[in-house]
Amino acid sequence: MIKAVNGKQKRRLVLSLAALGALGGVSSNVLAQTAATYHLKPNKPYNGTKVKFLICCATAGQFAQMIKLTGPGSDFEKLTGITVQWENTPYESLQQKILVEATTGNTYDAVAWVDAWGEAIKPYLAPLNGRIEADRINMKDYPNAYIEASTDKSGNIIGIPLRGHPLILFYRKDIFDELKLTPPKTWQEAVKTAQIIQQKKPGMSGLSTMYGVNAGQNLFSWVSMLWGNGGDILDKTGHPVFNDAKGVQATQFYVDMLRKYKITNPASTTFGEPESSSELKQGRAAMWVGWWWYWAQFSDPKAVAPAVLNHVGFTPAPGWAGGKKASYALVWPLGIFKNSKNQDAAWEFIKYVTSSAVQKQVASNRSNPAVADNTVVLFSGMADPKVNAANGGIPKVGGQVLRNARTLPQVKTWSQIQGVLEVGMNKMATGTDVKATLDQMAKDVDAIQKRANIY
């Protein structure tokens, strides 16, 4: 039975409909405004598009949070109608997969890669300059090292930095306070500080390092010393120059930390990043130089020994005494495959995840320690009070480091060169003559460059 609608009810109905209409208008306005915040196009022009994103390491806190922000039912999907599928590939096979996809595939639309792999895949990535200009993306907000790694030989920007890390010196604040030490500013000071710590705290390594053969990790501190001392890996023409006088001096110092000054665990000849960082986490070392994202781990009760928890301080990675302060900064640029059929939708995704708002939101979210991550790639994010408050101020320190940071040589032969360098470094750490080994390494790199017609 249908009841007749009286006048009072009619008024209520009209008012309700008006309120709903108003809410709808407000809601679409809010969506439009939110879309504008991320430089996204209004009115969902790519509604229903699926963007496939080739990436690894979904367990990294930053990525884990971003997957939630862009996956099915996410805010990003509500704003754009685009669904993003993060293809979580194991790190070990990511480079091959990217290369195969870039050269022969058409499965993926977007891709993120490690800076050092870039030169080999840059020809297969779409230039983004036009899009950056049209959407007024502020590229000056990114560190130069990140931009350099995201630019091809013709000067086209082919990636927007998604994730990046400066090198930070982590140290035990409690031990430094107890021994009245100040954090070292140079590698030479670091050696002296480490010697004092080892003298006063027997059984503890002054500085944890990594000399093992493991994806080029034993080169991170070395390149910082090399650049700091005014040396370089390759000259502008691509010839190896790391065996010149400055290179020999920096390398000898790097090896001496282990063999002569003995300020590091002798087992570090087999260490990669996990083992060397564990030295600090487990309270066996007083200092460690590594990527800033480790800060989240050092402040996680489940990841560190009780004696270490809340006692890890940080400061910029050391420079070279009397030289420059130029450490290596690692970056993951995010780009679009030339053969993608969803380039416009992929660009919407890139704008969203690299936007200042999302970067800050992710970096300042510490509600779940398992996915907390201080990583932020924009200077504005690194200076943001909320992001710094959530991360004990490390973003600001990272920003200082990144002002002078550099990227690895952007040459297509880098993976081969890295192989020669990391094996040579490990040999020197285990006792071969520094000058003779560097000369042999330079000879091998020269052969690689000639074979690749670099010169």
Partner 1 sequence: MAASSIPVRKPRRKEFRNATLRWTLLGPALFVIAATIIYPLISSFITSFRHWQLTDSPEPGDFVGLENYRRALSDAGFINSLKVSGEYMLLSVGLTLTLGLGIALLLQKPTRLNQFARALLIFPYAVAPVLKGYSWRFMLNPEYGVYAKMIGKLFPPLDHFLWLGHEFSALLVIAMSEVWGWAPLFALMFIGALGSIPSETTEAAKVDGATSFQIFWKITLPLLAPVIYIVALLKIISAFKMFDQIAIMTGGGPGDSTQTLYYYVYQLAFRNLDMGYASAVSYLLVVLMGIIAALYVRTLLSRGD
Binding site for partner 1 (CB under 8 A): 95-96, 99, 102-104, 119-120, 212-214, 265-267, 269-270, 272, 284, 412-413, 415-416, 419, 423-424, 426-427, 429-430, 432, 452
Nearest to 412 by CA among 449, 455, 438: 449
User: In 7-138, where does DSSP find H-type helix?
Assistant: 7-37, 61-70, 75-80, 91-104, 118-121, 129-134
Report the residue number, 37 or 252, with the smaller CB distance to partner 1: 252
Nearest to 53 by CA among 293, 331, 343: 343
User: Smallest distance, Å, CB 119 to partner 1?
Assistant: 8
Q: Token match 């201080």: residue?
A: 374
User: Smallest distance, Å, CB 199 to partner 1?
Assistant: 20
Report the residue number, 124 or 314, with the smaller CB distance to partner 1: 124
User: In 180-286, where does DSSP find H-type helix?
Assistant: 187-200, 220-228, 245-259, 273-281
User: Smallest distance, Å, CB 102 to partner 1?
Assistant: 8
User: Smallest distance, Å, CB 213 to partner 1?
Assistant: 4
User: Smallest distance, Å, CB 161 to partner 1?
Assistant: 23
User: In 202-334, where does DSSP find H-type helix?
Assistant: 220-228, 245-259, 273-281, 294-298
User: In 166-244, where does DSSP find H-type helix?
Assistant: 173-178, 187-200, 220-228
Residues 6+ apart with CB under 8 A from 356: 141, 378, 380, 381
C-alpha radius of gyration, the chain, whole number: 25
Report the residue number, 213 or 362, with the smaller CB distance to partner 1: 213
User: Smallest distance, Å, CB 243 to partner 1?
Assistant: 17
Report the residue number, 213 or 376, with the smaller CB distance to partner 1: 213
Report the residue number, 137 or 257, with the smaller CB distance to partner 1: 257
Q: Token match 């670091």: residue?
A: 190
| 419: helix, strand or coil | helix
Report the residue number, 205 or 356, with the smaller CB distance to partner 1: 205
Which H or E element spans position 420? Answer: helix 414-429
**Helix 220-228 × helix 245-259 angle, to 10°:** 130
User: Smallest distance, Å, CB 366 to partner 1?
Assistant: 31
Residue 403: Cβ within 10 Å count: 13
Report the residue number, 121 or 331, with the smaller CB distance to partner 1: 121
User: Smallest distance, Å, CB 442 to partner 1?
Assistant: 14
User: Smallest distance, Å, CB 354 to partner 1?
Assistant: 26
Distances (CA, A) of 164 to 62, 96, 284, 415, 416: 11, 21, 28, 19, 23
User: Smallest distance, Å, CB 430 to partner 1?
Assistant: 4
User: Residue 318 has which token pair?
Assistant: 């050391």
Residue 404: Cβ within 10 Å count: 19
Report the residue number, 134 or 267, with the smaller CB distance to partner 1: 267
Report the residue number, 284 or 324, with the smaller CB distance to partner 1: 284
Distance CA 133, CA 138 (A): 9
Report the residue number, 188 or 270, with the smaller CB distance to partner 1: 270
